[in-house]
A and B are shown apart, each in its own frame.
Chain A
């Protein structure tokens, strides 16, 4: 009796496991499908696209669409492809990431190790700032950038992304530094080290994990941004996301889906690359703010 029941449960177990894996694989296919479709479509010729279907493999692999997307596709009036916009994005994303991360690290350091009356209020103030929809600041910011003379410039975009990234970078570092014992700083103060020396010699050497998380998070956020790009830049200065959107929405001429897809992959490649290389930290960044805070 017991034996029979045991084999039954074992059988049920196997069936259960098979169904479990089937379900998981099905979901995986669903999530991978758009990437697959993008990739295959970008490698097809237009005829191939019209003749085949969504999931068919290319009859013959062609990189023409990629070349066109990179160097000669038209977005609005410009027909120089997305390469210029790609380097635009690089040129403001990197400084914005570096600056916002550095300031965030210093802020987090102060908020945990050098707390003073009002510093908690400050942090709350900053946190609430995370929740405002950016639409509320667009109009004043457009005007302010004009006054500062940095409208439609790389500097302007760096400025905007740093300003609105600080809340998150500060949050990251603060939550990380909270777990470092304050005594470390006290000991260093008694040992004779000052504010910056302690940061540089004691705190920063402990920070690589959170630095990676923060840099990846900021990089993904700023690279993928569309709202600030579309509002605060125009023409040749636009970041790649805006250029991609323009390309896809250009209604003149024949719709070249293969070029659209190649362009989309180009726009997504840097963040995808980061995700593949450092996915663990990416996930940590995503969950850091929410689980802890």
Chain B
């Protein structure tokens, strides 16, 4: 039919070769800028920072290598050790609390609840806020003069004290409180999506086999959420290691530098104290921490999946 149609349109237009060449190369051309960005601004900059960490750069970068001086200085610095200790405390408590509350909330919400959508929205809204806003709010709530301490005392408990936020050694725990408040809803959302994804027929089979609700959760559903645990763990670990805004807004790293984390340490030394070399070294240590924690986890998980 219709052979009169558009013979002209079909005959190759002049210069087609070039056009075809461009057409085939287009996908690569489109990815080009992103590739360049990744290579330069991610990988290149990591190497650049690594280089800086082996120099004596202070206010201005210098590029003559001096070996591990900055790393030695870093690990002789008490403040760095405090930051590391705080990261361990904050990281483990923050991740633990978020996982437990997140899972608990998800299971509670999974019981065919009225107004589930509303409750879910309430649990999750902190995630939409900036850590700075969260920090500001909790800084006010936790301040001993007019915050919770004041409130409880007004209720008649005259000797009640809750002054962690101004107590060295305790202020890092207030960061945990605010951090968990902000992120646990997110973990809830992850787990809830996981729960909804569990195959119904497995649950029915278990019910037919006579398993009660508790047993169904502990033996069947929760084990099947393993990939979700894994995702949540990686994301939370990542949030913990790079935590910066929350500490800045909540405690400013204080009192003194008792609630410093590596991220605030890096910022203060690199940009406020003009110790670029030391800042670079601490940044590299943060990167290594991420690599040391996340890479083995991902490796173990992918291996497990391959075997499964």
Chain A residues engaging chain B, CB cutoff 8 angstroms: 20-21, 23-24, 27-28, 30-35, 37-38, 41, 49-50, 53-55, 103, 106-107, 109-111, 114, 116, 119, 122, 125-126, 129, 131-141, 143-144, 163-164, 166-167, 170, 194-196, 220, 223-227, 230-231, 241-242, 244-245, 248-249, 257, 260-261, 263-265, 267-268, 271-272, 274-276, 279, 282-283, 286-287, 290-291
Q: Is the CB of B108 within 8 A of A23?
A: yes
Contact of A143 among B61, B227, B262, B290 (CB under 8 A): B61
The residue in chain A whose Cβ has the minimal distance to the Cβ of B283 is A135
Q: Which residues of B contact A110 (CB under 8 A)?
A: 27, 30-31
Q: How far is the CA of A126 from the CA of B34 in the complex (A)?
A: 9
**Given A37-B141, A241-B132, A272-B129, 4 extra CB contacts under 8 A:** A31-B181, A55-B151, A133-B283, A136-B286
B248-292 CB mask vs A (1 if < 8 Å, else 0) is 110010000000001100110011000010011011101100100
Q: Is the CB of B129 within 8 A of A268?
A: yes
Closest approach, in angstroms, between the C-beta of B175 and any C-beta of chain A?
15
Q: How far is the CA of A24 from the CA of B123 in the complex (A)?
A: 10
Contact of B48 among A119, A140, A167, A279 (CB under 8 A): A140
A24 touching B231 in the complex, CB below 8 Å, given contacts A34-B141, A226-B131, A226-B244: no
Closest 6 pairs between A and B when the two form their complex, measured CB to CB: A224-B130, A114-B27, A275-B128, A226-B245, A290-B231, A140-B48
Interface segment among B88-96, B142-150, B201-209: the answer is B142-150
Q: Is the CB of A139 within 8 A of B141?
A: no
Q: Which residues of A contact B160 (CB under 8 A)?
A: none
B77: Cβ under 8 A from any A Cβ: no
Q: How far is the CA of A50 from the CA of B145 in the complex (A)?
A: 9
Q: Is the CB of A194 within 8 A of B23?
A: yes
Q: Is the CB of A226 within 8 A of B271?
A: no
A135 touching B123 in the complex, CB below 8 Å, given contacts A244-B133, A287-B190: no
Q: How far is the CA of A148 from the CA of B139 in the complex (A)?
A: 38
Q: Is the CB of A37 within 8 A of B23?
A: no
Q: How far is the CA of A260 from the CA of B135 in the complex (A)?
A: 11
In this complex, the member of B28, B129, B141, B294 whose beta carbon has the largest number of chain A beta carbons within 10 angstroms is B129
The residue in chain A whose Cβ has the minimal distance to the Cβ of B36 is A163
Q: Is the CB of A136 within 8 A of B23?
A: no
Q: Is the CB of A231 within 8 A of B148?
A: no
Q: Is the CB of B125 within 8 A of A106?
A: no
5 residue pairs of the A-B complex, CB under 8 angstroms, read A111-B31, A135-B263, A137-B46, A244-B132, A290-B234
